[in-house]
Amino acid sequence: MKSLRIFILLGHPDEDSFNCTLANEYERGAEEAGHEVRRMNLGDMRFDPVLHRGYRTIQELEPDLKAFQDNVNWCEHLFIIYPTWWSTMPALLKGIFDRTWLPGFAFHFTGSYTWQKLQKGKTARVVVTSDNIPFAQWLLFGDTTNEISKGILGFAGFKVKIKKFGYLKHFGSTGRRERIKRKVYRLGRKAK
């Protein structure tokens, strides 16, 4: 298997979380398989997630946001893991994309309804955790990953695969959590 450049983004602000455990497993699997890995943790990043003037004036990016863009440009495969909070990603994670997913980095408009996807040719795996059953959540609220898969990553050209793990709080037994950890470890080894 070809060695890839992988960028891991832990999208949970708390490093004492099951999401962090899963990010560690993915990273361990990827490194053991010989992939080159870079990682950023949302809780360690310092930046203002608010677009104070919308996109009328682009705010200067803080060093952590510049590093995030550098890592996205560097990688061939992007791995993001985050919890579902109110049917979407944590606000701070959304703030990263609001601030960095800019023309000249993620896309370039070529016409009124056409654009060049500047991250085309790359792959992404998004793992989303939830205390709800993923199918029940989909029945109640629709596709809660459309924003990340199509509106953000797909818009920039990433080929995206989503994996959801749910019902973790009430039925997150030790055995079940260990099985999930093994699945995520294998995803890391395969760079999927």
pLDDT of 43: 97
3-state secondary structure of 70: helix
Question: Which among 30, 143, 139 has a CA at the least distance from the CA of 84?
Answer: 143
- Which of 132, 149, 18 has its CA nearest to residue 86? 132
**Model confidence over 169-182: pLDDT tens digits?**
666 577 888 999 99
Give pLDDT tens digits for 31-90: 999 999 999 999 999 999 999 998 888 899 999 999 999 999 999 999 999 999 988 999
pTM value is: 0.93
The class of domain 5-190 in CATH terms is alpha beta
76, 101, 106, 118, 128 from 109: Cα distances, Å: 23, 13, 10, 10, 30
pLDDT tier for residue 16 given thresholds of 50, 70 and 90: very high
Q: How much is the pLDDT for 139? A: 66
